[in-house]
Structure 1
Amino acid sequence: MEEQRVPGPWWRHGPPWWNRRDEEERRARLPWPSTLLMTAFVLIGSQFAGHAQDGHRAQLDVFARVLLLVACGLLLWRLRRPVLVASGTAATATVYLGAGYPYGPVLLTVAVGCFSAVVTGHRRAAWGAVAVLWAGRLLTAHWLYRWLPPSTDRAASWYQELVVATWVVAIVALSELARVRREQWARERAERAQAARRRADEERLRIARELHDVLAHSISVINVQAGVGLALLDSDPEQARGALTTIKAASKEALGEVRQVLATLRAPGEAPRAPAPGLDRLPELVEQAASAGLTVATETEGASVSLPPGTDLAAFRIVQEALTNVVRHSGSRHARVLVSRTEGALRLRVDDDGPATGADAGGSGNGLAGMRERAAALGGTIEAGPRDDGGFRVLAVLPLRAEEDR
Structure 2
Amino acid sequence: MRIDRALVNDAALAVVAAAVCVVMFVYSQTAQLKAPDVFGGVLVVLGCAPVAVRRRWPLAAFCAGLVPESLLAVMGYGSGQVGLGGLILVYSVAAYRGLAVALGALLLTMVAYAAGASFGEALESPSKHLVVLLLVVAVWGAGRSFRLRRAYLDELKDRAARLERAHAADTRAARAEERSRIARELHDVVAHHVSVMTVQAAAARKVLASDPDLAREALSAIEQTGRMAMTEMRNIVGVLRTDSPAELGPQPGMLDLPRLVEQMREAGLPTRLEIEGEPSPIPAGVDLAAYRLIQEGLTNSLRHAGPGAKAVVTVRHAVRELDVRVEDDGPGTATLSGRQGHGLVGIRERVALYGGVLSIGPRSGGGFEVRARFPLKDGQ
- In 2, distance between residues paired with 1:341 and 1:148? 103
- Percent of matched pairs sharing the same residue: 31
Whether 2:209 is the aligned partner of 1:237: answer no
Q: Label 1:384 to 1:93 Cα distance change in 2 as closer, same or farther (>3 A).
A: same
Whether 2:222 is the aligned partner of 1:247: answer yes
- Give the equivalent residue in structure 1 for 2:371: 395
- Give the equivalent residue in structure 1 for 2:233: 258
1:379 Cα deviation from its structure 2 partner:
1.4
CA contact (8 A) 2:333 2:368 kept: no
Deviations 1:16-40 (A, max 9, x none): xxxxxxxxxxxx99999xx99xx99
CA contact (8 A) 2:94 2:143 kept: no
- In 2, distance between residues paired with 1:367 and 1:143? 88
Quick one: which of 110, 127, 137 aligns to 2:92? Answer: 110
- Give the equivalent residue in structure 1 for 2:73: none
Whether 2:250 is the aligned partner of 1:275: answer yes
Deviations 1:40-94 (A, max 9, x none): 9xx89x99xx99xx969x9x99969x869947xxxxxxxxxxxxx7434565566
Secondary structure, aligned partner of 2:84:
coil
Whether 2:159 is the aligned partner of 1:190: answer no
Secondary structure, aligned partner of 1:203:
helix
Secondary structure, aligned partner of 2:82:
coil
Secondary structure, aligned partner of 2:178:
helix
1:348 Cα deviation from its structure 2 partner:
0.7
Give, as a single letter, the amino acid of the residue that structure 2 aligns with 1:87: R
Secondary structure, aligned partner of 1:235:
coil
- In 1, distance between residues paired with 2:56 and 2:379? 60
Q: Label 1:131 to 1:362 Cα distance change in 2 as closer, same or farther (>3 A).
A: same
- In 1, distance between residues paired with 2:117 and 2:333? 101
1:306 Cα deviation from its structure 2 partner:
1.9
- Give the equivalent residue in structure 1 for 2:174: 199
Whether 2:69 is the aligned partner of 1:87: answer no
Q: Which moved more, 1:333-342 or 1:132-141?
A: 132-141
Q: Label 1:356 to 1:386 Cα distance change in 2 as closer, same or farther (>3 A).
A: closer
Which structure has the greater CA radius of gyration? 2
- Give the equivalent residue in structure 2 for 1:80: none
Secondary structure, aligned partner of 2:365:
coil
Quick one: which of 298, 306, 318 aligns to 1:323? Answer: 298
- In 2, distance between residues paired with 1:341 and 1:31? 76
CA contact (8 A) 1:319 1:350 kept: yes
1:387 Cα deviation from its structure 2 partner:
1.5
Q: Label 1:293 to 1:183 Cα distance change in 2 as closer, same or farther (>3 A).
A: same
Secondary structure, aligned partner of 1:184:
helix
- Give the equivalent residue in structure 2 for 1:304: 279
Q: How does 1:142-153 map to 2 (within 5 A)?
A: 142-144=114-116
Unpaired runs of 5+ residues, structure 2, are: 30-35, 70-80
- Give the equivalent residue in structure 2 for 1:314: 289
Quick one: which of 318, 332, 339 aligns to 1:363? Answer: 339
Q: How does 1:47-66 map to 2 (within 5 A)?
A: none
Give, as a single letter, the amino acid of the residue that structure 2 aligns with 1:335: A
Q: Label 1:285 to 1:372 Cα distance change in 2 as closer, same or farther (>3 A).
A: same
- In 2, distance between residues paired with 1:360 and 1:29? 72
CA contact (8 A) 2:238 2:248 kept: no
Count of residue correspondences: 341
